[in-house]
Amino acid sequence: MPPPLLETQNLGLCLSGRWLFRNLTLSIPPSSFVAISGPSGVGKTSLIRILARELSATEGSINSCLHHGQHTSMIFQDLQLANGASSLTNALGGCLARHSSLRTLWGFPVHEKAKAMEWLTKFGLENKARQWASTLSRGERQRLAICRSMLSSPTLLLADEPVASLDSDWANRTLDILKYSQKERGGSLVCSLHDEGQVQQFADFALRLDWESPTQWTWEKISRSDG
């Protein structure tokens, strides 16, 4: 079995006196799609934020097994776009880490722009590239946030409800694109989903958190006939 991208040891989170989950020991295998599911408020967002190191766990540890040059990106639920900048500029935010501040002071390299346009096109935003992010609809903003994260070519992509505000057609297309783009570069996708149908259709593994008991989480391998 290939080495995992990320491991957790007995992870637990206690918020305002209530344990959301405890003793969570996982390993995220490479080239996999891990879905986190469970009812609203069960701690899906918190767990993803902990994995992204945006939030500290109450107990336990996280061990990143990424090599040099590999990294994690996160797609936030509240999107966090720059409203007064064009869709293209927002998407290009994903490539900033690859260039120095001096290089990006007067604009972006041509090849990055081309790559950003590719992503915008994949997500049906090619005609909105010059529009301010504030003028996009909620679903378009969601897809734009995904483009930005994908442009950073993450090995591990953490996504908090990435398809929550998309119609079912775009939701399926988006999960499909995310899954295969990640697998193509040997990366993984961890995302919270509330639709069981999507979990069954796309995920390789499902982590289900339990509302009643923080230790009763389950890890399930989802077998599909298409392999």
Partner 1 sequence: MNKQDLPWHSRFDLLGVTFLLFLAASLGALPSIQGSGRDLDYWGNLSHFVARFFPPDWSIFERTMYGLLETIQIALVSTLLAVILSFLISLGASRNVAPGWVLWPTRMLLNIIRTIPSLLWALLAVVIVGSNSLAGVIALTLYSVGYLAKFFSETFESTDLSSQNALKSLRASPLQAFQYGLWPNARPIIWSHCLWMLEYNVRSASIIGYVGAGGIGLHLKLYAESADSWNKFSLVLLCILVIVTVLDFAGEKIRKSIRDKLEGTPK
The pair of three-digit structure tokens given for residue 147, joined into one six-digit string: 């483009």
According to DSSP, residue 135 is labeled G
Of 77-106, which residues contact partner 1 (CB under 8 A)? 78, 80-85, 89-90, 92-94, 96-97, 100-101, 104-105
Please tell me the count of residues contacting partner 1 according to CB under 8 A: 33
For partner 1, the closer CB: 25 or 137: 137
What percent helix, strand, coil does the chain show, rounded to 5? 35, 25, 40
Task: Determine how many CB atoms are found less than 10 A away from the CB of residue 91.
Answer: 32
Of 146-205, which residues contact partner 1 (CB under 8 A)? 148-149, 152
Question: Could you tell me the smallest distance in angstroms from the CB atom of residue 73 to partner 1?
Answer: 6
Question: Could you tell me the smallest distance in angstroms from the CB atom of residue 46 to partner 1?
Answer: 16
47/141 Cα distance (integer angstroms): 23
For partner 1, the closer CB: 118 or 210: 118
For partner 1, the closer CB: 45 or 131: 131
How far is CA 110 from its chain centroid? Answer: 26
Q: Rule CB under 8 A: is residue 127 a binding residue for partner 1?
A: no
92/95 Cα distance (integer angstroms): 6
In Å, the largest CA–CA distance within the chain is 53
Which listed residue (61, 134, 168, 200) binds partner 1 by CB under 8 A? Answer: 134
167/177 Cα distance (integer angstroms): 15
User: Distances in Å between the alpha carbon of 116 and those of 76, 151, 219?
Assistant: 19, 6, 35
Question: Could you tell me the smallest distance in angstroms from the CB atom of residue 199 to partner 1?
Answer: 26
For partner 1, the closer CB: 106 or 225: 106
Binding site for partner 1 (CB under 8 A): 52, 54, 71, 73-74, 76, 78, 80-85, 89-90, 92-94, 96-97, 100-101, 104-105, 131-132, 134-137, 148-149, 152
